[in-house]
Chain A
Amino acid sequence: MSKISIRIEGLGKRYRLGAPKTAYKTIRETIMETLRSPFQIGRKGLSDESNNTFWALKDVSFEVKQGEVVGIIGRNGAGKSTLLKIISRITVPTEGRVRIFGRIGSLLEVGTGFHPELTGRENIFLNGAILGMKREEIKNKFDKIVAFAEVEKFIDTPVKYFSSGMYVRLAFAVAAHLEPEILLVDEVLAVGDTRFQKKCLNKMQDIGQGGRTVLFVSHNMGAIQTLCHRVILLEEGKVVEDGGAAAVVQGYLSWGSSMTGQKVWLKNERPGNHSLRLISVCLKKAGGIPAKEINISEEANIEIEYEIVKQGARALFSLILFDASGYCIFGSLSNTRENAYHDKPLQRGQYVSTCTLYGNLLNNGRYHVSIIGATDYWTEDFRADHVIFFEALDDGRLKGDYPGNFGGVVRPKLRWTTVALDDLAHFHERAERESSQ
């Protein structure tokens, strides 16, 4: 049996939810809170079990053996970075325990602590010290770092004059020469040009083969499959899969490919609360035809069918659209003024609320939808995640004679105008002449 490097037992991390405004409080707020509950000073934020907290990680347990290279994947907000932050001791878990057997080094960002006013040489020493290297160690590796970064000529120039490519190369070079027994890496391969990325990947591979334990978080499935033997898939703060790299990555990628433009819940499984229950969510393309594919230049409707079970309840919905990689594109609220039913107390019965996606809004690609429902002004909300998956197809109408792909998650049709400047000058001249008469 090989030795254990990291053992994680029942790890959980709870965060306070809040807009940036509430992230740090003003003294006035605290004074008010303290007056209300004078024996809770300083503890309140972390210990109260109110509903504006959420678990970024919950009941996470696994072991990593010495020399294993483990990839951690999952959509944004799945808890990957939180996990690394706890293991690297940047933040404290709310519950559970991590045991680490070995000297640990973490690389959550390249160039942490780089100062633009300092030269390349000075930054190597500073950054090295921040990453936990001793001065002697940095001195010994200095030439190798500079050579790896390919910035020999500029080593005594302040890094603010570096091109962004040179900057990240130098930053990665320092980090790549860190030699802990356990290395934590968070999405740092996405730096530099392709050639340098390859070089970094090779370096990472060397690290992995050197018998060191590596935990590697990435969205780059190619890199994950190249580097890791084992992959852990996180979803909503929980480990949902743990196994061989190829199998887990394949499973993850095909998630969502089982497209379905319609979701109908069984009667006893309908999500909701005591006032409101969802019956179905359905995507309909132009002409009101249920679909799982829409044309990006045509309007499409998403219909939310629900039942009001409590007389006089109000129904509010937020429709949240995500792209294939899980990035939230937008959320849209149902309580618009022009709608006669919304925000009004409703009779018991069944209703349909429809959200219209304009034509010429989305880019081609895959999307999925989550629904948040609420009654009585968001006091009792519930959510139904990833209820429908659909693909937006490009019929080429908006492309004109441009043959390539458009970047971005949306592709709105915007107004463009063109005038000849000569005409404009004539126009102004004439306008001036007329006004002076």
Chain B
Amino acid sequence: MNTPILTIEPSKGWVSIKFRELLDYRELLYFLVWRDLKVRYRQTALGAAWAVLQPLLTMIVFTIFFGHLAGVPSDGLPYPIFTYTALLPWQLFAHALTQSGNSLVTNQQLITKIYFPRLIIPISSVLSGIVDFAIAFVVLAGLLIYYGIVPTTAIFTLPLLVLFTIAVALSVGLWLSALNVHYRDVRYAIPFLTQIWMFATPIAYSSSLLPRPWRDIYGLNPMVGVVEAFRWALLGKAGGLGPSVLISASVVIILLIGGLYYFQRMEKTFADIV
């Protein structure tokens, strides 16, 4: 008697995450990201220019209101580049969070008709934001040249930092996407969440406004660590990385592992409920 290739049974308790299977489905992941990218700008007049316009216009508005009118200190750096460097990962994060949070619901057609590891869906929706990030990054390069800022070798950590940003978005996105299947409240909460979160993150201001112990605890908001690390890598912010980055990284690892387990646990109900 040959052994079954597959056994389908009611699953009980905690299940292990099937990374092997995820790897087997990497082509589907690739195609879903590719679909998102193809579709996103197909019927827009400005196309990929949106990827630049959003952070650029936000930067201008912040520079006028926070930089000039309110005189928010920017660690001795020119305010436009100070805020743009933070807006880049922020846009990546906000986009990825929104997309992944809604991903299972927008892809319910797929979920109810075909099997694949459901994790592919939030992961693919997070990844498609990287292209926008790359496009917007060109503007940052221009700003660096304009202000004559020469980055240190820390700039080589950038790919790692992008991964860090994606991980933050995914760690929250996994929770939200699975919750969204059961509670459509999530869909309405996401825009509100990102808005509040933006002000809780040192994008328009510097975290050095906070006194010492609080500045580190501030890292409990993982986006604080991301923004700090980006400024450190690109603008060579003096003083190196504070402990807040470590705290952020730990928070993300905990959230991510929790999110993965929660997602896997809820996965079996998606097709029945969504």
B271 near A117 with CB under 8 A, answer no
Residues of A within 8 A of B34 (CB): 126
- Does B39 sit within 8 A of A, measured CB to CB? yes
Contact of A27 among B5, B30, B114, B183 (CB under 8 A): B183
Q: Does A353 contact B (CB under 8 A)?
A: no
* Structural contact, A87 and B10, CB atoms closer than 8 A: no
Near B by CB (< 8 A), chain A positions 83-116 give 85-104, 106, 108-109, 112-113, 115
A residues less than 8 Å from B112 (CB atoms): 90
**In the complex where A93-B10, A97-B8 touch, is A30 in contact with B31 (Cβ < 8 A)?**
no
Q: Tell me, yes or no, whether B113 is within 8 Å of chain A by CB.
A: yes
Please report the C-alpha to C-alpha distance between residue A324 and residue B267 in the assembled complex, in whole angstroms: 38
- Asked, given contacts A24-B184, A92-B268, A130-B110, whether A103 binds B31 with beta carbons under 8 Å apart, the answer is no
With a cutoff of 8 Å between Cβ atoms, the chain A residues found around residue B31 in the complex are 125-126, 129-130
Nearest opposing residue in chain A for B189, CB measure: A27
Q: Which of B251-274 contact A (CB under 8 A)?
A: 265-266, 268-269, 271-274
A100 touches B6 (CB 8 A): yes
- Complex: how many Å from CA A132 to CA B115? 9
- Residues on A lying within 8 angstroms of B by beta carbon are 3, 7, 15, 23-27, 30, 42, 45-46, 85-104, 106, 108-109, 112-113, 115, 117-118, 122, 125-126, 129-132, 134-135, 158
Is the beta-carbon distance between A112 and B110 smaller than 8 angstroms?
Answer: yes
Question: What are 20 A-B residue pairs whose CB atoms fall within 8 Å in the complex?
Answer: A24-B181, A30-B182, A45-B269, A46-B269, A87-B8, A88-B114, A89-B8, A90-B111, A90-B112, A92-B11, A99-B6, A100-B5, A100-B7, A106-B114, A112-B109, A115-B35, A117-B39, A122-B35, A122-B38, A158-B42
CA distance A46 to B34 in the complex (A): 36
Chain A nearest CB from B214 CB (Å) reads 32
Question: Would you call A91 and B113 a contact (CB within 8 A)?
Answer: no
The answer on a CB contact under 8 Å between B183 and A130 is no
Shortest CB-to-CB span from B95 to chain A, Å, is: 19
Which residues of B come within 8 Å of A, CB atoms?
2, 4-11, 27-28, 30-31, 34-35, 38-39, 42-43, 109-116, 181-185, 265-266, 268-269, 271-274
Please, how many angstroms separate the alpha-carbon atoms of A409 and B226 in the complex?
A: 62
Cβ contact within 8 Å between A88 and B115: yes
Question: Knowing A23-B273, A112-B113, A135-B27 touch, does A103 contact B5 (C-beta < 8 A)?
Answer: yes
A170 to chain B, nearest CB (A): 16
Which 3 A-B pairs have CB atoms at the shortest separation, nearest pair first? A99-B4, A89-B115, A129-B31
- Chain B residue with Cβ nearest A102: B5
Contacts of B10 in A (CB 8 A): 92-96
Residues of A within 8 A of B11 (CB): 92
Contact indicator B27/A117 (Cβ below 8 Å): no
Chain B residues closer than 8 Å to A100, beta-carbon distance: 4-8
Q: Are A101 and B185 in contact (CB under 8 A)?
A: no
CB-defined contacts of B183 to chain A, threshold 8 Å: 24-27, 30
Q: B5 — which chain A residues lie within 8 A by C-beta?
A: 100-103
Say whether B28 contacts A129, CB under 8 Å: yes
Q: Does the CB pair B7–A117 fall under 8 Å?
A: no
- Is B39 a contact of A118 with CB atoms below 8 Å? yes
Q: Is the CB of A130 within 8 A of B28?
A: yes
Per the bound structure, the CA–CA distance linking A92 and B268 in Å amounts to: 6
Q: A7-B4, A118-B35 are in contact. List 5 more A-B contacts (CB 8 A).
A: A15-B272, A26-B183, A91-B268, A99-B8, A113-B109
Q: Which residue of A lies closest to B4 (CB)?
A: A99
Interface centre among A103, A112, A158 (most CB of B within 10 A): A112
Query: When the two chains form the complex, which single residue of B43, B116, B271 contacts A130, counting CB atoms closer than 8 Å?
Result: B116
A435-B265 Cα distance, complex, nearest whole Å? 73
Q: What residue in chain A is nearest B180 (Cβ atoms)?
A: A24
Contacts of B27 in A (CB 8 A): 129, 134-135
Write the nearest CB–CB distance from A410 to chain B, whole angstroms: 30
Q: How far is the CB of B180 from chain A (nearest CB, A)?
A: 9
Contacts of A99 in B (CB 8 A): 4, 6-8
Instruction: Determine the distance from Cα of A26 to Cα of B185 in the docked complex, in whole angstroms.
Output: 7
CB distance from B272 to the nearest CB of A (A): 6
Q: Are A98 and B7 in contact (CB under 8 A)?
A: yes
B6–A117 CB distance below 8 A: no
CA distance A109 to B30 in the complex (A): 22
> Nearest-CB distance from A394 to chain B (Å)?
40
A103 to B5, CA, bound (A): 8
Structural contact, B272 and A108, CB atoms closer than 8 A: no
Q: Cα distance A129–B120 when bound, in Å?
A: 13
Docked-complex contact B271 and A97, CB < 8 angstroms: no
Minimum distance in angstroms from A82 CB to a CB of chain B: 10
With a cutoff of 8 Å between Cβ atoms, the chain B residues found around residue A7 in the complex are 4
Q: Does A91 contact B7, Cβ atoms closer than 8 Å?
A: no
Chain A residues near B35 (CB, 8 Å)? 115, 118, 122, 126
- Once bound together, how far apart are the Cα atoms of A104 and B115, in whole Å? 10
Contact B114 A130 (CB under 8 A): yes
Q: How far is the CA of A21 from the CA of B235 in the complex (A)?
A: 52
Shortest distance from the beta carbon of A61 to any chain B beta carbon, whole Å: 14
A130 to chain B, nearest CB (A): 6
Residue of A nearest to B29 (CB): A129
**B8 surroundings in chain A (CB, below 8 A):** 86-87, 89, 92-93, 97-100
Q: Verify A85–B271 contact, CB threshold 8 A.
A: yes
| Cα distance, A187 to B267, chains bound together (Å) | 26
B113→A90 contact, CB < 8 A: yes
CA distance A50 to B265 in the complex (A): 23
